[in-house]
Homo-oligomer: A and B are copies of this chain.
Amino acid sequence: MNELIGIKQIAKLAKVSIGTVDRVLHDRPGVSKTTREKILAIIKETGYKKNAVASRLNLAARKKVKIAVLIPEATSNWSYWEVPKKGIDDAVEELSDLGILVTYFYFTGPDSFESQAKLVLKKDIDGIITVPFFKEESNCLLGNAKKNKIPVLFLDTEIQLDDPAFFIRQNSYDAGRVAGRLLHGLVGEEGLYFVFNIITDRGMHVNNEQRENGFREFFKTNFKDTPITIITINHPIGGALGINDELEKWFKDKRPKGIFVTNARSYLIPKILEAHKVSNVSVVGFDLHKDNLECLRNNEIHFLINQKPEFQGYTAIKSMFKYLTEDDSSDLNIDIPVEIIVKENCQAL
């Protein structure tokens, strides 16, 4: 709390000009070894810390930090990707005085991802935020970005890539374990457990798989012999699910039942249950999709797990900006907490 030491004080102590101090601070060439070392010693001694605000004030006007955001196009159904975008926009607003420019690029499948990624790399850009939905194409983007020394931050999903990268996403395996805990609490040890993977042709299912694995691991660790039935349904988005003979068989059993839906489509379950005339089934799903929230309010879904997409977007921008301006990568790898939502705490969000 003693008077903050600035570049000016350092210069005075070292008997040089502030320009020279600046050169040393930024590791720029053109300083003799002796002066450099003298200045470095003083910087260390005084515990000098650069004033990031003053620094940005200059640069903001001349050279904005440019970040490209490459995400799925918001579809007409559920515009999930509007949510992280909201967070991104909030962060941009907060950082606007510090000089930031975010440009959005959209993709719909592997091909457009690839072409948009190429477009991004052609632009004059400092960092990239995207999602690793397509392994090969993500590797390609990551490799090319690496060549240009452009950092890439992935949201939503973690997959193994050829080069190290940054990830801000929920640990889906942990989320599955939490779902196991919650569903077990409602259904008990004598229950029948179902995992519903309601998928579509296109799109990644990495999160689905890891959530299922975590769910099974929970039971394997805590309640060894609990039988879990995995049901995978390929179903286009929109449209309802009808009677299913395989399901009918399962529903005949009298034991208490729990269903874990490994993605946002748990809102489809109540109608299936109705069609099969089954009731008293506990349901755990993901994401605060409005239809899910509706089911939560009607006690048709009992728990929702939130991966905080808005926070993901917000913190992605903040962390990337911090990295690009202060070379601080500490916030570029984040485990989003597994947030548990019930009817009584869903409004506050």
Contact = CB atoms under 8 A, between A and B. Distances in A.
Interface residues of A, number: 33
Contacts of A218: 344
A340 B342 contact: yes
Contacts of A60: 53
A72 interface: no
Contacts of A52: 97
A51 interface: yes
Instruction: Tell me how many chains of this kind the complex includes.
Output: 2
B180 A344 contact: yes
Q: Is the interface of A mostly helix, strand, loop or mixed?
A: helix
A176 to B, nearest CB: 9
B51 A178 contact: no
Contacts of A171: 348
Given A177-B344, A344-B218, A185 B302 contact: yes
A135 to B, nearest CB: 26
Given A178-B344, A337-B345, 18 more contacts: A51-B97, A53-B97, A53-B98, A54-B97, A171-B348, A174-B345, A174-B348, A177-B344, A181-B342, A181-B343, A185-B302, A186-B186, A335-B348, A338-B344, A339-B339, A339-B340, A340-B340, A340-B345
